[in-house]
Each structure stands twice: as C-alpha cells, then as structure tokens.
Amino acid sequence: MLSSQGQRNWLQGTITDAPNFDATADAEALYNAMKGIGEGANVIFLLTLSSMVGVEFVALCSSGSDKEAILDLVTSRSNAQRQEIIAAYKSSFGKDLIDDLKYELTGKFERLIVSLMRTPAYHDAKEIHDAVKGAGTDERCLIEVLASRNNKQIHDMVAAYRDAYGREIEEDIIMDTSGHFKKMLVVLLQGTRDESGVVDADLVEQDAQDLYAAGEEQWGTDEAKFIMILGNRSMTHLRMVFDAYEKIAETSIEDSIKSELSGDFERLMLAVVQCIRSVPMFFARRLYKSMKGLGTADNTLIRIMICRSEIDMLDIRECFRLRYEKSLYNMIKDDTSGDYKRTLLELCGGDDE
C-alpha cells in the first residue's frame, strides 16, 4: 500500500528485466520480424531460443503479425536490455535498430515503440527539445517533466540533451520562456533539491511563515520566496511545511498558489506541490486528463506510460483507481485502438477492476 503521502521507497514498475536474456537472439528476432517473416517458423524459433517469456509469448508470435512480434518483444524487456539489443543489432547487421523501426512502423504505434527504445534521459531530452523547438512552446510538457524528476534524472537529461543536440538545455528553455515561470524552470534544471531526508523543525516553521508572509499576509506576492523554498527544499521537509502553512494561513498551499499566482507559473508551482505530496497521484491526474473528453493527448499518454513503466506504474494504477473509481487499464482500452492500444496496455501491466 501507499503511505499517507503516496510515496514508496522501492520501485513498483510493471516492466522488469526478462530472465534468460539474450540480446543477440532478440536482435535477430526483430530483424526477421521487420523482414516480414512474422508468420514463419524462423521468428518463432529465434524467439524460443532467446527464452523470452515462455510459451504464451511464442504462441502470440506464431498467430500474430510482424508488428505483434515487435510489440511483444519490446514490452517484455527492460530499458537497459533494450539498449543491449540496439548494440547487438548494430553488431550483427550493421544497421541502426531505431532507424529500422522508424522505417517499418507508422503513426502513434511507431512513436511509442521508438520512444521505448531510447534511454529515459534521452527520451526526456527529446521531449524537452520538441517542446521548445519551432514556433510555440509546449509548456505543459516542460511543467510535467521538470516538476517530477529527481536530481539524478535531471542531471542525466541535461547531459543527454547536450550530447544529442549540441546545445545547453538551460539556454534553450531560457530563450523560449519568460518571467517567474522561466526562473522556476531554471531552478529545477539545476537538480539541486535537498535529498538528504533530514528535517529541521525550526526551518519547517520558518519556511511556512516565510511562504505566508510572501503571499497571503501581504498585498502582492513575493514570487522569489516561493521559488527558493519550493525549488530547493527536500520533499519530506516540504510536506511538513505544507502542514504548518495550513495551520498558519487556514488554507492549503494549493489554494494560496491559485489565488496568488497565475498562468504557466501557477500551473508549474501547483505541479511541484502535487509531486511533493505524491508523484504517483500527480501522474494519475495527468493520465486521466490526457484521455477524458473528446480526443486524446497522445504525447502526454505516451510520455507518462513510458517514463513510469519501470518506476511506479503500480502505484499510479492504485492512485488512479482510488481517485476516479475506474482502472487505468480500462480507460486506456476504451480510449485507444490497435497495436498502439496493445502496447500501452502491456506497459500498464494489468486491470485493477
């Protein structure tokens, strides 16, 4: 079960390392699947050799399409194992696996499978790059990624961005954003949040008083104080600050942010607070919003299902069911279709109803 803050101290993902893993056999299986031998004995033989996930998986490939073979293999390997398959594919065939997948697959299914093949850091880097390149900015992507990542994830993303694009992620974000929204994004990009877990009761009280003085107690808002405290203090510390703040202000920190701040800056600070309270609940809310009503925010759906599949997808499913009284699995099933749907359901990992 989740703690009262919705946090766990261990991974609760739906995707784990496959046993008896053989990167070379998997690379050959993918190569043959993309050559169009999905219904023949060669692919089944290769999949059996790699001892992937048992008889059920092989049976699926024997009766399914090439895309199904690719789907089942990719979603039954961890990201680290997928990186080994990419290397084995190049060693065996002198070709780039991601390039071949882009060529063979199409649409949202292609986007999802190709995204699964990237490391988490490079996937985050690409999401940020896509959010700021060209005309317009996808502020919601910037908010989601930067509000939810820990220090190591931030540092890895910054390095991946530099390697992939030959540019500094901070410079690109500064060029594409403005005001207090930009300042808070830059603070989060430093990846310097206290992660010690040590809590100073006096500092908790001081921070709560400072936040109250910066907002509810005065005419106008001292945004810099909100940025400094919410951008740097530890999550454990801030949960205690929020409790102390509510006693002082007689309102929640969320309600104060809604009344004192506005626009993208307000949305960013609310996302930070939600992540501090419970990262799984934050993503449960994001997933629900991506699918409710007409149309689907596929970029958001893909990004979250990929990035949380090895971290806390089971927790997200639990939060989703508790908040919306329906399962994430069934909402995905009702809102998507085809191989795209099947891949998302594999990442979801099961139904909670």
Task: Extract the annotated binding site.
Answer: 291, 293, 295, 335
Tokens 């991601």 locate to 98
What's the DSSP call for residue 18? P
Q: How many residues does the chain have?
A: 353
Per DSSP, the chain holds a count of helices (H) and strands (E) of: 22, 0
The annotation places the binding site for Ca(2+) at: 291, 293, 295, 335
Question: For residues 52 and 114, is the Cβ–Cβ distance under 8 A?
Answer: no
Q: What is the DSSP letter of 353?
A: -
Cα separation, 270 vs 255, in Å, equals 9
Alpha-carbon distance of 308 to 14, in angstroms, equals 9
Task: Return all residues near 94 (Cβ < 8 A) that are at least 6 apart.
Answer: none
Six token digits for residue 326: 């329906």
State how far the Cα of 91 lies from the Cα of 133, in Å rounded to an integer. 33
User: How far, in Å, are 49, 113, 279 from residue 26 at the CA level?
Assistant: 9, 15, 34
Give CA–CA dist 276/96, Å, rounded.
39
CA 176 centroid distance within chain: 22
Give the tokens for residue 261. 């701040």
